[in-house]
Amino acid sequence: MRINRYISQSGLCSRREADRLIEEGAVFLNGNKAELGDVVNEGDEVTVNGRPLDVSRKHLYFALNKPKGIVCTLSEKEENNLYKCIDIRGFITYAGRLDKDSEGLLILTNDGDLINSLMTGGRGHEKEYVVTVAGSLDDSVTGEMQKGVWLPEIRRKTLPCRAWISGENEFHIVLTQGINRQIRRMCKVFGLKVKKLERIRIENIRLGELKPGNIRKLGAGEIKELRKRAGCEQ
């Protein structure tokens, strides 16, 4: 198994993040500084920042309702980190971030394959949001959003999506890509100021009645369906 996948399987981070750690010299394989492309065999020891990894630990899966103001990080250097909401220590991380001003559903897990799949662009996983804006809306805005929107700040056009009005100043949008601050950038194009942005679904996992700051374990059926949709090995 390649070392970046081994690190991801431990639940520490995605493969891309694992590559970054390797390049920074934070990863050692059997006491030697690891290199990109190294292969981990049975009985080998991998450490990250001096801490041994173990891919044999039981996989954990949680849904968290992230409140506004909490930063998607487990680094305790950030005062408003996710540990303000969760009491889980060890190798577990989020699969798909939300910015500080957004709220709603986060999936927390140590399933490296799932993390990698959900955080890799181009996989087409659905994420649904409820957006409240200042002022009223009309169908022309959501209609244009569905076609894809040119974002001048990053010179990129968003992919076609589903969007529909659900209130005078509220709409739902379902994305299959993960451009940074995508919805806020899309709204800005139409002169809309976002007052509230809440993620309510990732594929089959729904926020439901989970209160802000609360966490729940995912059920076996939810996990099986999510991994299936993510293309993870069963």
Q: Which residues are catalytic?
A: 99
Contact between residue 212 and residue 69 where contact means Cβ atoms under 8 Å apart:
no
The H or E element spanning position 142 is helix 139-147
- Alpha carbon distance, N-terminus to C-terminus of the chain: 18
Contact between residue 230 and residue 117 where contact means Cβ atoms under 8 Å apart:
yes
Beta bridge partners of 63: 107, 216
Q: What's the alpha-carbon Rg for the chain, to the nearest Å?
A: 19
Q: Which amino acid is at 151?
A: L
User: For residues 215 and 109, what is the distance between their CA atoms, to the nearest angstrom?
Assistant: 12
